Amino acid sequence: MNSPVYIMWLRQLKKYWRSKPRVIGALGQPILFLLALGFGFGPIFEQAGQGSYIQFLAPGVIAMGVIFTAMFTGIEVIWDRQFGFLKETLVAPVPRWKIMLGRTLGGATVATAQGLIVLIACIIIGFSPSSIYGLILALLFMFLIALFFTAMGTAIASKMEDMQAFPLIMNFLMMPLFFLSGALFPIDTLDGAIKTVTLLDPLTYGVDGLRFALTGMSSIGIITDLLVIGVLSIIVLLIGSKLFSEIQI
């Protein structure tokens, strides 16, 4: 296939699998959260009558593995710009949005694969999915989360030239989004301003949908989760395509 979308998608996959330290390194933080919080707060969670904290926490940790891999895919835009590859790509006689779409789909596929690796690690540690069929729905939510954050990272990177500033901005955005998503605590008991902020967090719907797929637990509703994260992913992808098309070379 000579489609620019396919070529860019394949390039992202090749770069990912050739970088074994990147694959292993991306597992560090999710596994640390799962072990430290899962076993550390597990007894307290069970005493509160909420059941196994590992079962509750694992979907959030999987989402963490997905979003960190997805967002940092955007730094490759800045890298390619500084080393000339982006210029060679953008002068090709194809629409720029196709190049962006291929990069984003490739990054989302890579992030989904990383999420699967984290899921396997969670199962080894003690997490138990509620059903085999739920894994298919979980894959869908992992891909939608990955698509949203890959497109967001690419959109932000399209307006930046400083490679060192990009990780700082990404951490500034990702950490609040992650901690307010309900990945680490139930959102059912929240009220007031904190619940409003949580419901405004796009990742909340991805984590809730992923948790339903893997454990059968949901605080919002699977249809709402799917609609919100799906629509937002498309919107961010369109915004990212426009910003990427405006890159000056």
For 35-82, the pLDDT digits (tens) are 888 777 777 766 665 677 888 899 999 999 899 888 877 777 777 777
Is residue 195 over pLDDT 70?
yes
pLDDT of residue 146: 94
Summarised one tens digit per residue, pLDDT across range 85-132 is 666 666 666 777 788 888 888 888 888 988 998 999 899 888 889 888
Cβ proximity of 63 and 145 under 8 Å: yes
What integer pLDDT is reported at residue 50 of this predicted model?
65
Average pLDDT, the chain: 83
pTM for the structure as a whole: 0.88
Closest CA to 26 of 113, 104, 109, 127: 113
Name the nearest CA neighbour of 212 among 141, 144, 143, 108: 141
Cα gap 164→110, rounded to integer Å: 23
**Do 73 and 107 touch, CB atoms closer than 8 A?**
yes
Q: Which of 89-93, 202-206, 212-216, 243-247 has the lowest mean pLDDT?
A: 89-93
**Residue-level pLDDT at 19:** 62
**Phi, psi for residue 62 in degrees, rounded to 5:** -65, -45
Question: What's the pLDDT score for residue 139?
Answer: 94
Q: Which has more pLDDT, 65 or 5?
A: 65
Reported confidence tier of residue 177, pLDDT bands at 50, 70, 90: very high
At residue 186, the pLDDT reads 86
Asked whether the predicted pLDDT for residue 212 surpasses 60, the reply is yes
Burial of 196 (0-12, 13-18, 19+ CB in 10 A): exposed
